[in-house]
């Protein structure tokens, strides 16, 4: 049986994943408004991955006889100053997610909840990948700056990205 403390932490994490999905959909919309369909595609897939993360946690909580508490999800930002701004905000957000998952792992060990500790190992590994991806993307868009032909090429490259269920599962 899951402890009330861990149950609350997982519910908070579930809410954070839903917020992440909304944030990346908001960025998808912003990129579409800039006619950058490749970047929009990149963030649309990020949003799908976040929903998968949320659903994994939703299922886990039920599997351990916990209760999902559906809470209001905060509204994400709607407008962004630049492409660099989007990636800076994404990286900062993912760092917050990493800290939150680290706290779940720490608390699970304190409570001797080894099932939750094992379950969230996947997420902490995923965070390493997500932070690395966003750091690389941030470097690329900073390098590109105002160079429209490089931007065109990166946009075309990002249009090729497809959603892989195992990436976000």
Residues near ligand FEO (CB under 6 A) are 17, 20, 50, 53, 94, 97, 130
Please identify, using beta-carbon distances, which residue of 94 and 144 lies nearer to ligand FEO: 94
Quick one: 38 or 168, whose CB is closer to ligand FEO?
A: 168
Please report the beta strands in the chain, taking only residues with DSSP state E, as ranges in sequence order: none
Rounded Cα distance between 169 and 124, Å, is 13
Tell me how far, at minimum, the Cβ of 99 lies from ligand FEO, in Å: 11
**Minimum distance, C-beta of residue 98 to ligand FEO, in the bound complex (Å):** 8
Closest-CA residue to 134 (of 28, 9, 43, 8): 43
Closer residue to ligand FEO, CB minimum distance, 46 or 155? 46
Is the CB of residue 138 less than 8 Å from the CB of residue 91? yes
In 34-66, which ranges are continuous DSSP H helix? 37-63
- 124 vs 156, beta carbon nearer ligand FEO: 124
Name the minimum Å distance from CB 60 to ligand FEO.
14
Of the candidates 134, 138, 125, 107, the residue with the CA atom closest to the CA atom of residue 167: 125
């Amino acid at each position: 049986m899951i402890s009330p403390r861990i149950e609350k932490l997982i519910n908070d994490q579930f809410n954070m994943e839903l917020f992440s999905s909304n944030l990346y959909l908001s960025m998808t919309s912003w990129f579409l408004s800039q006619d950058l369909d490749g970047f929009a595609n990149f963030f649309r897939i990020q949003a799908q991955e976040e929903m998968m993360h949320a659903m994994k946690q939703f299922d886990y909580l039920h599997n351990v006889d916990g209760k999902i508490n559906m809470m209001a999800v905060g509204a994400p930002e709607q407008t962004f100053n630049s492409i660099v701004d989007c990636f800076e905000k994404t990286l900062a957000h993912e760092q917050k997610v990493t800290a939150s998952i680290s706290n779940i792992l720490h608390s699970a060990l304190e409570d001797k909840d080894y099932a939750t500790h094992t379950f969230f190992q996947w997420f902490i590994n995923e965070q390493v990948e997500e932070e690395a991806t966003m750091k690389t993307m941030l470097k690329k868009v900073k390098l590109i700056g105002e160079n429209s032909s490089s931007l065109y090429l990166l946009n075309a490259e990002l249009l090729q990205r497809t959603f892989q269920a195992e990436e976000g599962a």
